[in-house]
Structures are given as C-alpha cells and as structure tokens.
Amino acid sequence: MPAISAATGAAPPPAKVVVEDIYGFLRVLDDGTVLRSAAEPAFCSTTFPDSHPSVEWKEIVYDKAKSLRVRMYRPSAAAGGNKLPVLVHFHGGGFCLGSCTWANVHAFCIRLAAEAGAVVLSAGYRLAPEHRLPAAVDDGAGFLRWLREQSANPAAGADAWLAEAADFGRVFVTGDSAGGTIAHHLAVRAGLAAASTTKRGEPGPDVDPVTVRGYILLMPFFGGVRRTRSEAECPAEVLLNLDLFDRFWRLSLPASATRDHPAANPFGPDSPDLAAADVRPVLVVAGGLDMMRDRAVDYAQRLAAMGKPVELAEFAGEPHGFYTLDPGSEAAGELIGLVSRFVRSCCVAAPKG
C-alpha cells in the first residue's frame, strides 16, 4: 500500500527515476525532464593561458531566437586591413554536451587563431536531448547564413570588428568530434547543392560572398550499428568509452532511430550518396588511441575511392580530442600546423572567385 501524505491525505507522487546519466553533467528523468549541471566537467580545465598577446576575442549572440552565441578570435596580424582566412569551428560533446565558452575549447581556439594566423569563429549550437538531430546541423547551416549576411551587408548591421579582419572568400569549416560530424553534413549539403547547380548550368558557388574552401574534420563522431575493431577493443575504464558514445547517440538521434541513421552513419542505408556530391577538399584527422579511429579512416578512404579531394592525417599515439584535453601540448601544436598547411594549400589551389 502506498504511503499517505499527512498534509493532503493523498499518496505522494512517485519518485522520479534517472534513465540516462552522463557523469552527472546531464541527467534525463523517466518523465523526460532534462537536468543539466551549470559546472564545466573537470576535463575541461586547462593550464593553457586563456589569453594570448597577439589575439583579441569577443563573444556575441548570432541567433537571438535560439540564444546561440559565437566567440570570435582575431590575430593582431589583421590590423591595418590585412584580411585573414576564417575558420568556423564547432565544438564536440556528442551533440549533448559542450559549449564555445568551455575553458578548453576557448584555449584551443586562442592557440588556433594565434598559430594558424586565422580568424576563428567558435559557434554554439543547440544540444540534445532537448533538441535532437538534425538541429545541430541546421544550426551550423544557420551560422553560415549569418556569416554570409556579415559579408554581404557591411553597412547594414554587420559586425565591423569581424568584417575588417575576415577574408570571406577563404572560409573553412572545422569541427571537433560531434562538431566534425556537423562539418561533414555541411560539406555534403553544399556538395549536393553544387552538383545540382552545375547540372542545371547555373553559376557556381564562388559567386557567393562567403566561399567555403574546405572542411576539417577533427576525429569526427560517426556511428553505425556494426561495431568497428577500434570500438570493440576500446577499454571500458577510459573516460570516452563505447557505453558513453552509445548514450550520446541514444540521446541525440531522432527517437527510435538506430546508429545507422544518416545523422550518425555517412554510409548508412538511407544516407546521401556522397559520390554524387561536389565536395570541396576535406582534411580528416584520426587518433591512434581514439575509439572512433577506424570510422574516421574508413570515411577518408571511401571518399578517396570516390575521387574526392581528401587528406587523412593520423596522430598515432593520441586519444580522442587530444587538442582540447591539452591545448598546450606539442601534439596540439602539430595539429594546428597541419591545419595551417591545409588552409594554405586550398587557397593556392583555389584562388578567390
């Protein structure tokens, strides 16, 4: 017999049960309530400085309706009208966690701007499970529309601080983990649209005021029902393990969808045909100790087999997200050097239209 409340004479409401828990930072109750911790996870702390003498930064809201923010970083080299390439960056977190304001994301973007000599735009997006996929990808596309407005209307409310530093004809979309997956989907959307435009004989994408020259996928967060070897061999005791990634997919994919859903698996049964997409150059970064390693390598190899312009770089001894786990590391510096070379090569190969 249920207990009776002395105050009301009625049975108290049943206790709510936590059905999903991601290290206490995100909990989902059995009634659908989502509880988020305001604190940053411990792994977001970093000893890397949160400022740099040659980099200025500021934060603004780019989508007021959705309360989405962007942190913008520009090197002092942009002074005097010296326009720099733009790196649009999307953070990781399994589509469920993360923010452009987290200390480790901020530190990485500071170093990226300083050492790559680029304007870095670290854009936020809506998180699951409150906003399941494809919300994050739609927000990524929305940010590129916002960027286009900044370039097309310099006298109509555009951000002068950004406009005076950014070369909108040299834009690159980069993302870490889930952010890398967003970059993939944006590349495919643009590639399929470009292929359709070319087929109809219409002007190509270089007439657009914002020209995306390439995409950089840093250890992209891909999934699939069938396990890869690196997934199956992932130790359960590591922080970023298979169980955690499965929870991310359960919380971020449309209800009842499997990991073969197009949002997760680029080569799933219902995924777009990448062979038909006119994809701009892609740099894929994999880590030898990353559980996602095999999927990233397979992705790059399949694109290459389709004749797409893709480069694969593997950091043999590094785990998932090593550049944000330790933004000041030597390996993070090597990664930034790799990104810089990729940007230069794309700009030489494809001069501004």
| Active-site amino acid positions | 177, 290, 320
C-beta contacts of 59-65 below 8 A and 24+ residues apart: 59/100, 59/101, 60/159, 62/123, 62/143, 62/146, 63/139, 63/142, 63/143, 63/146
Contact (Cβ atoms closer than 8 angstroms) between residue 303 and residue 275: no
Burial of 47 (0-12, 13-18, 19+ CB in 10 A): exposed
Contact (Cβ atoms closer than 8 angstroms) between residue 160 and residue 75: no
Name the phi and psi angles at 166, rounded to 5: -90, 135
Cα 235 to the center of its chain, rounded Å? 25
Q: How far apart are the first and last CA of the chain?
A: 76
Give the integer Cα–Cα distance in Å for 275 and 294: 21
Contact (Cβ atoms closer than 8 angstroms) between residue 324 and residue 105: yes
Where does the chain show beta strands of DSSP type E?
Answer: 18-22, 26-29, 34-36, 55-63, 68-75, 84-90, 119-123, 166-176, 212-218, 282-287, 310-315
DSSP codes, 91-124: --STTTS--TTSHHHHHHHHHHHHHHTSEEEEE-
Q: Which letter does DSSP use for residue 28 in this model? A: E
Give the integer Cα–Cα distance in Å for 297 and 306: 14
Query: What is the rounded (10 degree) CA torsion for 286, 109, 347, 220?
Result: 30
Give the integer Cα–Cα distance in Å for 73 and 84: 11
Instruction: Give the CA distances from residue 166 to residues 11, 118, 192, 215, in Å, rounded to whole numbers and listed in that order.
Output: 63, 8, 27, 17
Give the integer Cα–Cα distance in Å for 279 and 296: 17
